[in-house]
Structure 1
Amino acid sequence: MVLGKAINMSLMDISKIFSMLQPKEEEDEEDTGESRLLNEAVSNDDAVLLAELLSQERYRKFINSRTGWGIPGTPLRTAAAQGNLRCLEVLLAHGAEVDSLDVKAQTPLFTAVSGKHVDCVVALLKAGADPNGSVYNNCSPVLTAAREGDMDILRELLQHGAEVNVRPKVPEWATNATACRGPLYLSAVYGHLDCFKLLLLHGSDPNYNCIEVKMLARIKQPKTVLEMCLRYGCGMEYIQLLIDFGANVYLPTLIIDKTTKQNEAVLLLLKERVCPKSLMSQTRLAIRSYLRTANKMRCFDLLDIPPILRNYLKHIT
């Protein structure tokens, strides 16, 4: 029954994506010239020509048309993928659909994140792009930025309300450990310490990448982030951060390896098990837990408390 439901949902998603690629009724073969010229102007990063074309109604009505070889996309997607900020701003000013999808169900924001074009990412977010990307795409901008170690892009996404505990989208019947590999996990195994800390600052769960109880229950032996950091030899910095942000040090199953680096991390974890946290540290964790996850860092600035306490809540020393 569950399997059938998951398959039906997948077929609906596929139908949705393909329906978006079908030409609109008002479009015909004679109109492909206008769409092609728009995309050529964007590809050549000719913002002046693009603005001139969009000043005419015959071109403006094709601003959201999908054309091109390989992955048909809108002019906005092309601008985002190539990092052509001037053209991207012209398109947005003329009303381009900010969250239009391509055949992969990727938004222009997703392609800008994948291309590491931080200026385009900022412009799209300010124009109202969904920081979480598309519900029809298995990945997300946050997952991509965390994997690639794009600190500036990741910060922009989180500041605009992106889901910090996002996970890859897989059908419920295909649930496994991979489905729980969220951005915190990815930033750790790829060695992006700055991104790892940033995610924790914005409220990422320090115990599991996945916060869905039902999904965790379907996995035989879900691994905590601490366990994964120990397995991949991430080092003491990662372990210390997880401890500071309230990870449950009693959850991981400890396996002593021969590597000195891992053993140091294990010793740090064992020490934490026998030494309770200070009252100040416990208070900080309690206050942080009461603040909403979205835009958590911005919430601290709204608290009517001395700067030194505000910085302590932000883990600024």
Structure 2
Amino acid sequence: MSLMDISKIFSLLQPKDEDEDNEQSQALNDAVGRDDVALLSELLSQESYRRSVNSRSGWGVPVTPLRTAAALGHLRCLELLLENGAEIDSLDVKAQTPLFTAVSGKHLDCVVALLKAGADPNGSQYNNCSPVLTAAREGDADVLRELLRFGAELDVRSKVPDWASNASACRGPLYISAVYGHLDCFKLLLLHGANPNYNCTDRKMLARIKQPKTVLEVCLRYGCGVEYIQLLIDFGADVYLPTLIIDKTTKQNEALALLLKERVCPKTLMSQTRLVIRRSIPSLNKEAAVESLDIPLILRNYLKHETSELI
């Protein structure tokens, strides 16, 4: 993080003259906190309150009314604030956007409203985490689906300074959804084009971490189950990448057997064809692209991994 980045974060901590004792801002936040849509609408009908719509107030960590609405999941208040000029990607002192707080609170309707209004699906560049990483960790497939539909980065990783790089910084949404046991999020990420061989390929990172773990290896070591291994195989993961260390603590007998079998048995022609077709489709909104293909429904379903090879 550069000095400029740090300065921007700390500037958010400094009270501004116009925000001190700002009764209008506090009144807006109070109305949002009580989910009092009628009162909020009445306040915003007045010019003085509309001018304070992006001001921060509150005890401890001051926040904007939009951030409050997103954190509490008060949809109608959130929509009213957006209609009256609320800054959609305003940051709090943790560099979290309203979208990030809505994702953290699992408020799907607020997430959708913010995305439709133009919120950045990747959150803030100044925050170490991201909405996608948060949704993957929490196992919220519905929120994750909306983020991906609006173009969120699939293979994002936590942002840390180069000097603080470590193995955990290599772990993206696939890692996280597997380790936390969220199979539906894991498959959703793969369907949208997440790299099944994901590891850190950044040169600066590799200078510190010579052998970052692949997703396959992480799934084996964490005992994620045969379903995860099968999905990675189906989506084209390189089965020769993991370093297999078999000892008495190995929990993955079935999954390990599946991986070893895949190493000696070639993929079927249909499976290889599916991989080639999916790889030729742009990653952005891959699911919609598959759905739009002018091919029989059964083949579209096969490309979406909804149909067996025995068709």
> What range is the shorter-chain TM-score in?
over 0.9
Which of 289, 302, 305 is the matching residue for 1:315? 305
Tell me the distance in 2 between the aligned counterparts of 1:156 and 1:39: 27
1:77 to 64, 67, 85: 67
Write the distance in 2 (CA, Å) between the matches of 1:214 and 1:284: 34
5 Å matches for 1:260-279? 261-279=251-269
The offset of 1:22, in angstroms, is: 4.2
Instruction: State the TM-score, normalizing by the size of structure 2.
Output: 0.94
Q: Deviations over 1:82-140 (max 9, x none)?
A: 11111111111112111110000000000011111111111111111111000000000
Structure 2 counterpart of 1:33: 23
2:5 alignment partner in structure 1: 13
Are the equivalent residues in 2 in contact too, given 1:165–1:211 (CA < 8 A)? no
Alignment deviations for residues 199-233 of structure 1 (CA, whole Å, 9 cap, x no partner): 11111111124454553454122111111111011
The worse-fitting range, judged by mean Cα deviation, of 180-189 and 300-309 is 300-309
Q: In the TM superposition, what whole-angstrom CA distance separates every residue of 1:121-179 from its partner, at most 9, and x where no partner exists?
A: 11111111111000000000000010111111111111111001000001123222111
The 1-side partners of 2:46 and 2:296 are apart by 56
* Offset, 1:28: 5.9
Q: CA RMSD in A?
A: 1.7
Asked if 1:288 corresponds to 2:299, the answer is no
Equivalent residue, structure 1, for 2:171: 181
Q: Secondary structure at the match of 1:142?
A: helix
76 and 223 in structure 1: CA distance in 2 versus 1, 3 angstrom threshold: same
Corresponding position of 1:3 = none
SS at match of 1:18: helix
Q: Does 1:139 align with 2:162?
A: no
- Determine the structure 2 residue equivalent to 1:168: 158
C-alpha distance 144-110 of structure 1, shift in aligned 2 (>3 A): same
Q: SS of 1:161's equivalent?
A: coil
Residue 81 of structure 1 deviates from its aligned partner by 0.5
Which structure 2 segments of 5+ residues have no match? none
User: More helix by proportion, 1 or 2?
Assistant: 1
Matched residue type, 1:44: R
Which among 189, 200, 204 is matched to residue 199 of structure 1?
189
Whether 1:239 aligns to 2:239 is: no
Instruction: State, as a whole percentage, how many aligned pairs show the same letter.
Output: 78
Shift of 1:24: 5.2
Counterpart in the other structure of 1:106? 96
Shift of 1:194: 0.6
Gaps of 5+ in 1: 1-5
| 1:223 alignment counterpart | 213
Q: Cα offset for 1:283?
A: 1.4
Deviates further, 259-268 or 297-306: 259-268
Number of equivalenced pairs: 307
> 1:211-268 CA deviation, whole Å, 9 max, x = no partner?
5455345412211111111101111000000000000000111122446750111110
Cα separation, 1, equivalents of 2:135 and 2:118: 19
Give distance in 2, aligned partners of 1:28 and 1:276: 66
In structure 1, C-alpha distance between the alignment counterparts of 2:131 and 2:143, rounded to whole Å = 9
Match of 2:149 among 145, 152, 159: 159
